[in-house]
Structure 1
Amino acid sequence: MPYRSSFSGAPDRQPVFNVPGAVAVLALALVGIHALRTIVLSEDADLELLLYFAFIPARYTLPDTIFYLPGGWGPKVWSVVTYGLLHANWMHLIVNLVWLLAFGTPVARRFGSGRFILFCAVTAAAGAGAHYLSHPDALVPLIGASAAVSGTMAAAVRFAFAPGAALSGHRSVFADHQPAGSLLENFRDGRVLVFVGAWFALNLLFAFGISLPGADGAEIAWQAHVGGFVAGLLLFSLFDPVPRGRPAVRPD
């Protein structure tokens, strides 16, 4: 009986959408939540949802006698992560989805589903923390997955240029599972420096008021981007399951 082998001369048929399950589920959740808000919920119901799940710095600094928010202590705990599930409009969501698919895909393949979701939660919380430090009394809700997406960008750059990795110039069949160097070794690589420099330059433009299409004049929370990105760079090794050592090779 004839059969196909992955080691035969003819390549296996590849799936049209080669996206890890964790990324697909997260993307669908983001789309579903925004569809619920824009299609099903009334304006009052959507506002109440924002009050419970968006990150509002004033919730932590202003007493209830001055600024009351419903929910008690609960939103103080979960809103540092749940704000990343909410978006201002469809364009805001689409932009984040594009970057999530581009950078979250290799990171999810490397980390696995559980580590990836936890990593996104931690970098989202780091983004909320950075935003809080710069706007401790802000009443305007912070929403969007940009901090977690920035974290995946930072994680990807930690291994994307490693020997045999996707951007190394000599891509291995195990490109997303090549051993990563230390943070110091990464910053000795000019390609990493260019990527990180370009990323910070873009966010510097946001700091000076440059906006993106579809932002509708809303202020871009670049501090949250920086918090998520820096956390991704520094915490990558804690989540990375690939040990340092010899590059991965395909068995004969």
Structure 2
Amino acid sequence: MAICIIIFVAMQVMPNELSYRLIYLYGMVPIRYSDPQWGVSFGLPEDYYLSFLTSLFLHGNWWHLAINMVFLWIFADNVEDRMGHGFFLIFYLLCGLCATFLQWYFDPRLAIPVVGASGAIAGVLAAYFFLYPLARVIIWVPLFLLPIVIHIPAIAFLGLWVIIQLHDATTSVIFEGVTVDVAWWAHLGGFITGTILYRLFIRNELAEEK
């Protein structure tokens, strides 16, 4: 969280031209890898794949950053407790890498940077979904300007989240001309990766107690 916030704030105080350049350099631009000549003509270095990782620490605006950090703050600590700091970091980065790869695979001609921690966080959500399905998630609903607080099971909250991601991702593929401003496939890629890998990163608590 600290890395994402510091990088975002630093880029806000940079000149716009430099910030724009860094977003294209370190954000994952799918067409850059589908059509290398595009990247060269745009002034980007060839054979540069680090952006699949660095894009996880960049965000487009304050709202994008805030949403991701809130989800990370709510769900990540419990998962990290079960994995340990080191294993959690590896798990987080692997989910993010697979997420950006899936986004590239399904939208290889996209010419704008894909940025954000959403794909990696989706992997964390998957781990939480299976580790704490009956845990209660607190949701604040602004109903007629009144702060209505609802407690719902994590399995219901995250299940609905997955359905929304799947709907929007498939809609963007099936129907041409649909405006896509969210990396839905990255979200699904991260969640699928987290579903597959989370068991491999859970600490053996019985062994640790001995």
Superposed pair shares fold, TM > 0.5 = yes
What is the deviation of 1:218? 6.7
Residue by residue over 1:78-117, the C-alpha shift from the partner in whole angstroms, topping out at 9 and shown as x without a partner, is: 1111111000101110000000011111111111111111
- Partners of 1:53 and 1:230 lie apart in 2 by 24
Report sequence identity in percent: 27
- 1:44 and 2:55 aligned: no
Equivalent residue number for residue 142 of structure 1: 114
> Against the structure 1 CA distance between its residues 104 and 130, is the aligned structure 2 distance closer, same or farther, given a 3 Å change threshold?
same
Deviation per CA, 1:105-131: give whole Å up to 9, x if none.
111111111111111111111111110
Alpha-carbon distance in 2 for matches of 1:50, 1:109: 33
Q: How many Å separate the matches in 1 of 2:135 and 2:130?
A: 11
The structure whose Rg is larger is 1
The answer for the alignment partner of 1:73 in structure 2 is 47
Partner AA of 1:202 in structure 2: I
Residue 126 of structure 2 is aligned to residue 154 of structure 1: yes
The code of the aligned residue for 1:42 comes to P
Q: Contact conserved, 1:206 with 1:220, CA < 8 A, in 2? A: no
Partner in structure 1 of residue 54 of structure 2: 82
- Among 86, 94, 98, the residue aligned to 1:126: 98
Aligned CA distance change for structure 1 residues 34 and 196 (closer, same or farther; 3 Å): closer
Q: CA RMSD in A?
A: 2.7
Task: Report the TM-score when normalising by structure 2.
Answer: 0.78
2:79: which partner in 1?
A: 107
Q: Contact conserved, 1:84 with 1:145, CA < 8 A, in 2?
A: yes
d(CA) in 2 for partners of 1:72, 1:113? 34
SS in 2 for 1:64: helix
The number of residues matched between the two structures is 185
Gaps of 5+ in 1: 1-26, 169-190, 210-216
Q: Which amino acid aligns with 1:96?
A: N
Q: Partners in 1 of 2:130 and 2:43 — Cα distance?
A: 40
1:28 Cα shift? 1.1
Closer/same/farther in 2, CA of residues 233 and 122 from structure 1, 3 Å limit: same
2:44, 2:54 → 1: CA distance? Answer: 16
Unaligned runs of 5+ in 2: 137-152, 173-178
Structure 1 pair 242/69, CA: closer, same or farther in 2 (3 Å)? farther
- Structure-2 change in CA distance of 1:160 and 1:110 (3 Å): same
More helix by share: 2
TM-score (ref. length: structure 1): 0.66
1:235 is the counterpart of 2:197: yes
CA contact (8 A) 2:125 2:158 kept: no
- Aligned pairs for 1:1-252 (under 5 A) are 27-39=1-13, 41-64=14-37, 67-74=41-48, 76=49, 78-161=50-133, 167=135, 194-195=156-157, 197-204=159-166, 206-207=168-169, 208=171, 219-242=181-204
Q: How far did 1:67 drift? A: 4.4
Distance (whole Å) between structure 2 residues aligned to residue 87 and residue 126 of structure 1? 18
* In 1, Cα distance between equivalents of 2:17 and 2:154: 46
- Runs of 4+ aligned structure 1 residues displaced above 6 Å come to none
Q: Distance in 2 between matches of 1:50 and 1:220?
A: 16
Please give the per-residue CA displacement for 1:131-161, whole angstroms capped at 9, x wherever unaligned. 0111112111100111011110001122114
1:202 deviation in Å?
2.2
Q: Which amino acid aligns with 2:20?
A: L
Tell me, yes or no, if the aligned pair for 2:119 and 2:191 is still in contact at 8 Å.
Answer: yes
